[in-house]
Amino acid sequence: MSSIRRLYEDLRSISVAVVHPPGEDRELLIEQLKRIGCRLQVFWPYCTEPPRGADVVFFHLSQDIPSGGMWCASATEATLIALSDYESPTTLKLLLDSSAHGVLTKPFRSSGVLSTLVLARSAQGFQQRQQAKIQKLEATIKSRRQIDKAIKVLVDHQGMDEVKAYEHMRARATSLRVTVAEVAAMVIDAQEVMEKLGLGRGR
C-alpha cells in the first residue's frame, strides 16, 4: 500500500502538459488527469518545441505536423506520451522517430490513462538510469585510455617503467587532490607543449 501511496503522491506532484486539438478526446484526457491530481496545462496549436517545465507531455501525433516539427524524447527531459489518431505505417514511423515513452490510441478510454502514465514514467526512469551508466562507462574508458597514453609518455620520455609511471601519477594525484586521469591529462598536455618547442626527445 505504501508503494501505491508514493506512486499517487508522485503523480500529484508532477506538471503535465497536453498538446492536442480541442474535442471530446482531449476533454476525456484532461478529465482523467485532473482526477489523478496532476498539475495541468493545455496547449494548442502544436508547439515547435515541447512545453518547458513539464514533467510529462501528452502530445498529438499526426501526419499533419509540419516536416521537421516532430519532437524527440532525446531533446527533452520530459516523459513523452504520444496521442495517436490511428495505426498506420506512417504513424508508426512517426512514433518510432519520436522515441515516445508511451502511447494512447484513439478513441481514448478513461481506464488507460493512469496505466499509460505510470508505465511511461517508469520507462523514462529506466532509460535515464541506463544512459547514466553508459555515460559513466564511457568516461571510465576515456580515462583509462588517457592514463595508458600518459604512462607511455613517461616510459618513452622519462625513463620510467610502466609501474613506476603509474605510481608517480597516482602520488601526484594524491598530492594535488585530483584524479589520476587529470594528472594523466597534464602529462599529455605537457609533452605536447615540449614537442612543439622541439624538446620532446626522451632521455
122: in domain: no
- For residues 141 and 95, membership in a common domain is answered with no
pTM more than 0.75: no
- Here the CATH number for the domain that contains residue 153 is 1.10.10.10
State the Cα–Cα distance between residues 184 and 179, nearest whole angstrom: 9
Return the half-sphere exposure (C-beta side, CA atoms, 13 A cut-off) of residue 199. 6
- For residues 140 and 80, membership in a common domain is answered with no
- Here the CATH number for the domain that contains residue 84 is 3.40.50.2300
**How far is it between the farthest Cα atoms of the chain?**
81
Q: Which domain holds residue 48?
A: 1-108
Please tell me the total number of residues recorded for the chain in this structure: 203
Q: Do the beta carbons of residue 72 and residue 98 sit within 8 Å? A: yes
H or E element in which residue 16 lies: strand 15-19
State the Cα–Cα distance between residues 43 and 29, nearest whole angstrom: 13
pLDDT digits 0-9 by tens, 19-54: 999 999 999 999 999 998 889 999 998 888 888 889
pLDDT digits 0-9 by tens, 145-187: 999 999 999 999 888 999 999 999 999 999 999 999 999 999 9
- Total domains in the fold of the chain: 2
State the Cα–Cα distance between residues 35 and 111, nearest whole angstrom: 12
142: in domain: yes
Q: Could you please report the per-residue DSSP string of 100-133?
A: -SEEEESSP-HHHHHHHHHHHHHHHHHHHHHHHH
pLDDT digits 0-9 by tens, 91-101: 888 888 888 99
- For residues 137 and 92, membership in a common domain is answered with no
- For residues 4 and 64, membership in a common domain is answered with yes
- For residues 14 and 75, membership in a common domain is answered with yes
99 conformational bin, left if phi > 0, alpha if psi -120 to 50, beta if neither: left
pLDDT digits 0-9 by tens, 79-92: 999 998 877 788 88
Closest CA to 125 of 7, 26, 1, 34: 7
Amino acid at 82: A
- For residues 30 and 79, membership in a common domain is answered with yes
203 band by pLDDT with thresholds 50, 70 and 90: very low
Residue for cell digits 502538459? Answer: 17
- For residues 19 and 57, membership in a common domain is answered with yes
